[in-house]
Amino acid sequence: MSAVPSAGNGKITVPSILERKSRVPSQNSTAGKITCLTAYDYPTARLLDEAGVDILLVGDSVGMAVLGYESTLPVTLDEMLHHTRAVRRATRHALLVADMPYGSFHVSLDESVRNAVRLVKEGGAEAVKVEGGERRIELIARLVEAEIPVMGHVGLTPQSVNALGGFHVQGKTGDAARQVERDARAVEAAGAFAVVLESMPRELAARITEKLRIPTIGIGAGPDCDGQVLVIHDLLGFGEGRRPKFVRKYADLAGEISRAVGAFRDDVKAGAFPSDAESYHSAAELREQEGPQGLKPLRKVTV
Ligand code: KIV
């Protein structure tokens, strides 16, 4: 199947994601909920795409999940492009969204648009995600004008970790909740096709979901959002450090990898790997020539 959308080829598109909002029949229904996972490499993206995940997000969480940075702040546009291209090669069905990393949309509007265009043109992204609410109105409008669909991201925005003083749940007081709600409305008004709601009380996320016409994708925002997103390494148990309470670990990949690598190490040390069946063999006539000293030289070599 081509990754280019055409009627009826099953490709998830920006309009089909928007349509899902109107199809979610009630807050408590699970029908039509949007699934989104992060992906950073070809083999993982292929599995997620084949499993029918709606949106693959090349998040700047790649910095912490894969590149070993302590926050998402050091992630560069070139790093995002590298990972987006890998995910692009694997993705046939899902909508591919790439994060705009910190610094790529903070200097000027022109430069921001240029950077987003690179994610589409060189990375193969079909949409970009931008962190921030009211402050991003102009930027989102400019990107949409440049034919680049935008996913917003409000609540806890990890690129603001220094300004926020850490990774904390947002919108817990009346004033803070009203600000998160204003941010979500601003993102919608600017033309975003969906918005990530991160780390906020479920009641606030439910209220925002009720009020917006675009789908909300929650992470640590309770079950009433129109969809859910998780970092794939968290879901698979492949991360390190403390797991936030909203993460459900569906597998223990770290444990499984440690077990497998330990078994390989033990087998090699004990001479149990590789076995004869796991080895290549010389042709029969060559084997006849092979004495205990190995192959006889074909001709005498004089030095
Ligand atoms: O970078 C990321 O992975 C994200 C998701 C957690 C929403 O922004």
Over the stretch 105-140, which tens digit does the pLDDT of each residue have? 999 999 999 999 999 999 999 999 999 999 999 999
60, with CB counted inside 10 A (0-12, 13-18, 19+), is: buried
Instruction: Quote the pLDDT of residue 291.
Output: 63
3-state helix, strand, coil in the chain (%, to 5): 40, 15, 45
Q: Which atom of ligand 1 is nearest to the CA of 59?
A: 1
Ligand 1 binding pocket includes 60 (Cβ within 6 Å): yes
Rounded distance from Cα 36 to ligand 1 centre (Å): 10
Q: What is the dihedral of CA 79, 81, 84, 88, to 10 degrees?
A: -150
Over the stretch 179-218, which tens digit does the pLDDT of each residue have? 999 999 999 999 999 999 999 999 999 999 999 999 999 9
Which residue's alpha carbon is nearest to atom 1 within ligand 1?
59
Please say if 145 is a catalytic residue.
no
Q: Which atom of ligand 1 is nearest to the CA of 65?
A: 3
Which residue's alpha carbon is nearest to atom 3 within ligand 1?
59
Rounded distance from Cα 108 to ligand 1 centre (Å): 23
Q: Which atom of ligand 1 is nearest to the CA of 217?
A: 7
- In this prediction, the residues of the chain whose per-residue pLDDT falls under 50 are 28-31
Instruction: Quote the pLDDT of residue 23.
Output: 59
